A = this chain, B = another copy of it.
Amino acid sequence: MCYDRTVTAETPASLPHSQANLLRIQEAAAEVDLTTRSIRYYEELGLLKPAARSEGAYRLYDADDLDRLRFIKGLRDDAGFSLGEIGRLLEDETARARNRERFRATEDPAERRAILVDAVERVDRQVATLRSKIERLEAMISEAEERRAHLREHLAEIDAGVSPHEAGHRHAPRSGHTRRSEHAPRSGSHRQ
């Protein structure tokens, strides 16, 4: 039976403000579809630290942590970054914890503003990284489509009844290369 996970957690000073609906590692893992091992490993690498620990030593994750885990997973699976790169992208967990801390600790709007501005910039850098990845993928698509066009050209030749030896093309079915040196376009006939 699932009782009331309302553990008081690491609240540094005292504040009982946390009624945060915390999850234990298995529940968190199920939620974001990762193994517990992976989550612990990511912690080991400094990618995230659970929001709290129970009296004993159970890791307890809040909604924020789940977001972060989902993001990590996305970066890993969808974007194909290594955990090292992800770490650099997220900027390490200690900095995050410190900021989280500072944010709660201060009442000063200026301070809070600064922290938020910082966070926005971080997100912007992440987006930029993702965009550049998309661009590279688009370049690859362009190349692939070039290959495709080339193939269709050959097809057209065949359909036009050109006998194989009178077109001056390469031998393999797939092509679309980018040879820097010689390459005579399909002018006249040229045997090898």
Contacts and interface: CB of A to CB of B under 8 A. Distances in A.
A107 interface: yes
A137 B173 contact: no
Given A1-B190, A179-B63, A155 B116 contact: yes
Interface stretch (A38-46, A52-60, A119-127): A119-127
A188 B1 contact: yes
Contacts of A143: 71, 74
A161 interface: yes
How many identical subunits does the complex contain?
2
Contacts of A119: 151, 173-174
A120 to B, nearest CB: 5
A104 interface: yes
Name the interface size band of chain A: 35 or more
A64 B174 contact: yes
Given A81-B80, A130-B140, A137-B78, A104 B171 contact: yes
A134 B131 contact: no
16 contacts: A17-B192, A30-B191, A64-B175, A66-B177, A67-B176, A79-B140, A80-B80, A100-B171, A109-B158, A112-B158, A112-B164, A113-B159, A117-B155, A119-B174, A133-B137, A134-B134
